[in-house]
Amino acid sequence: MGGVFGVVSKQDCVLDLFYGTDYHSHLGTRRGGMAVRNGQGFTRFIHNIENAQFRSKFDADLASMTGTMGIGCISDTEDQPLIIGSRHGSYAIVTVGRINNIDEIVKQSFARGTSHFAETTGEGYNPSEVTAALIDSGDTIVDGIRCAQETIDGSCSLLLLTEEGVYAARDRLGRTPLIIGEKEGAWCVSGETSAFPNLEYRTSRELGPGEIVHITPDGVEQKAPPGDEMRICSFLWIYFGYPSSTYEGRNVEEVRNRCGAALARRDDVEIDCVAGVPDSGVAHAIGYSNECRVPYLRPFVKYTPTWPRSFMPQNQKVRDLVARMKLIPIRELIHGKRLLFCEDSIVRGTQLCDTIERLYDAGAQEIHMRPACPPLVHGCRFLNFSRSKSELDLAGRRAVAELEGDRPVPLDEYADATTEKYCAMVDRIGKRLNLTSLKYQTLPDMIEAIGMPKDRVCTYCWDGEG
């Protein structure tokens, strides 16, 4: 997915930038980058973070960085920030989102006279560079950002660092958040409010969908007002977001607790304990446990001192090995027990299948699984949240294919929890995972737990409505 952080200060901003960017490390897996601007121009560093923490890669760079304005990012794919020389002057840019029509935009840029784009190794064009080309087509930076927002099919939130300050622009439909923080002598903009407390920032306000602001040491100036329509990603609360973060006034941990409670209210299974699949399943499990008054235990503990996130390595076998090495079973809490696990979601189910097998090997009597969201039957077309190359990698779609064969079929009935086809799909997933029972969250209960109207959040992954 990716995350961004920017800061403008009356004093040196490098440490705030460093730690603020680091607080987005849960959102991306491949690249980290920071750029600052001072009287001598830009200083920038980009590192690969696939197998190392952001902090360890950038510690040595801090002595070479100084400035009162900067932007940083954690990226799932491309190198960022980019330094762009343009008709609007030199600037640095970071983006988060996805451009589905990137090839079309590149062709149109060539037709307007753009001479070239640098191709990233094996992955086409850098989305931030393509976004910059759209910005440079405008008469002003703000006009160019508006052009990018209107042209991009997918989503794009961005920060742009100039000599005068930082421009921040939220995606046209607000699919990803941008929040302004303030403290004495400094302003910041962040995708995660979890970056604020320990850096002594307080939340000032959130940008609305499509809103553009310019941040200087003196304050925040609105350059374009927000639009009325919003489709913020609901998966932010279910999985992506950090527990201490808040979007649109809804805290992530509280929403996950409510999701777990909703699962418990619709359940009547007899179990000995409730557990969460670490890490994001834990808050859902606590909500379930509190609601049904069944003890919450940790039959798996996560070993975090040396193992990075399980999906960082590009090779699936290595990812599976890392996932196995991180989760250590506690046989005394597993043997002979009827266990119920809450999980944020079941995307492909490859690692979950191994986890379940290990529980049985440790003597589990029953294993019940309760995902906090409905089955995913559509691949996300607005954010890059999965490394799956095909929708058929999704556990839900794979079950549909097994039930229907290769012929194309409407997915509406498979997204409706009241239909026989939905039940058949869930039964097929549960049997493949060797579960005693599998019950998913209903979409209405998930939306109620988030606490926003359905037409304000994106639910494309579950029902195709984005």
pLDDT band at 387 (very low <50, low <70, confident <90, very high): low
- In this prediction, residues 235-240 reach a mean pLDDT of 96
Percent of the chain past pLDDT 90, that is, above it, reads 78
pLDDT digits (tens, 9 = 90+) for 146-166: 999 999 999 999 999 999 999
Using a 10 angstrom Cβ sphere, with 0-12 exposed, 13-18 middle and 19 or more buried, the burial of residue 254 is middle
C-alpha distances (whole Å) from 270 to each of 96, 278, 342, 430 are 44, 23, 15, 18
For residues 186-201, give the mean pLDDT.
98
- Band of the pLDDT at 412, cuts 50, 70, 90? very high
Given this model, what pLDDT does residue 311 score?
A: 43
The mean pLDDT value for 7-34 works out to 95
Task: State mean pLDDT over 302-307.
Answer: 69
pLDDT (mean) for 429-456: 97
- The residue that leads in pLDDT, 466 or 294, is 294
Reply yes or no on whether the pLDDT at 50 is more than 90.
no
pLDDT at residue 120, as a whole number: 60
Q: What is the mean pLDDT of residues 344-365?
A: 92
Higher pLDDT, 76 or 388: 76
pLDDT tens for 307-339 read: 555 445 455 566 666 666 778 999 999 999 999
What pTM did the predictor assign? Answer: 0.93
Burial class (CB in 10 A: 0-12, 13-18, 19+), 201: buried
Beta bridge partners of 250: 247
CA angle at 258 for the pair 296 and 454, rounded to the nearest 5°:
150
Mean pLDDT of the chain: 92
Encoding tokens for residue 411? 């997915």
Domains, the chain, in order of start with CATH, read 3-230 (3.60.20.10), 250-463 (3.40.50.2020)
Q: So what's the pLDDT on residue 52?
A: 79
Residue 133 near residue 148 (C-beta atoms within 8 A): no
Name every residue whose Cβ is closer than 8 Å to that of residue 27 and which is 6 or more positions away in sequence. 1, 2, 3, 74, 76, 96, 191, 192, 240
Q: Which residues contact 153 (CB under 8 A, 6 or more apart)?
A: 99, 100, 101
Rounded to the nearest 10°, the torsion over CA 153, 154, 157, 163 is: -40
Average pLDDT on 376-396 reads 83
